[in-house]
Amino acid sequence: MANIGVFARTTSNAPRAWFLGGTLFLASIVIAVSQPAIAVVPGGGTLSTVLFSAALLIFAFGIRGAGSITARRPLGTSALTVLALWLLLDLGLAGVVTSSISLDTAPAAVMAFAYSNVFVQFLLALVAVMQIGRLGVVPSPWNWVPAWTLAAVSASWLLTQVLGALGTTQGAIVFSNALLSLESLTRAGGTVLLAVLAIVLADRRNRPQPTADTSISEK
């Protein structure tokens, strides 16, 4: 009987982890969107990144050993964990990097971090989403939604960078600004999509399944 109770608590932690992770994703977007209203949400940008990183860690490790979307396999779990920590590091060094570059006093380590930041985040996210898709802990076809989201965000970012580097005319600048808005919308929409998906799948997993006895009696 004790083992049955432990098993029940463990399995219930999986949907709980997905629900909590999805809720943190949604909260991070709400705070990020509300960031201009500093009087309402002081320090919005910082809290948004912290909540997003916390969601990544919950998706990586689950709650009490259950709910990891990477099945706690080393590669995918490590990618999500390092990505969460890297985002926090980026948050902590953002002011230092900006001021150092603007004053032309940035040491080599700071410059290396600034140049590699986006690519490291992309590589870590790529490893994570590929592992999520391959391991199949998330039901098919939803296990590939993180990969589709990363592809959309990466494409919008790449287009913005290319046009920003090539275009110097007024029309190109306007188009580049429009793409920047599209990139921000893609990032926010992708995060909301993943959040809603996690919450919906958590609700599905939390629903009681009919037992064999119940199925036989219904027949």
Q: What is the DSSP string of 2-46?
A: HHHHHHHHHHHHHHHHHHHHHHHHHHHHHHHHTTT-TTTSTTHHH
In a domain, 213, yes or no: no
Give the per-residue pLDDT at 212: 44
Contacts of 46 (CB under 8 A, 6+ apart): 91
Give the per-residue pLDDT at 206: 73
In a domain, 112, yes or no: yes
The DSSP output letter for 69 is T
In a domain, 114, yes or no: yes
Residues of the chain with pLDDT under 50: 1-11, 37-42, 211-219
In a domain, 214, yes or no: no
Give the per-residue pLDDT at 93: 77
In a domain, 96, yes or no: yes
pTM: 0.80
Q: Is 82 helix (H, G, I), strand (E, B) or coil?
A: helix
How many domains does the chain contain in total?
Answer: 1
Closest CA to 73 of 62, 64, 83, 63: 62
Instruction: Give the ranges where the chain is alpha helix by DSSP (H).
Output: 2-33, 44-61, 74-102, 108-135, 145-166, 170-206, 212-218
In a domain, 152, yes or no: yes
Residue 74 structural domain: 14-207
In a domain, 3, yes or no: no
Give the per-residue pLDDT at 3: 43
Return the structure tokens found at 76: 């995918």
In a domain, 215, yes or no: no
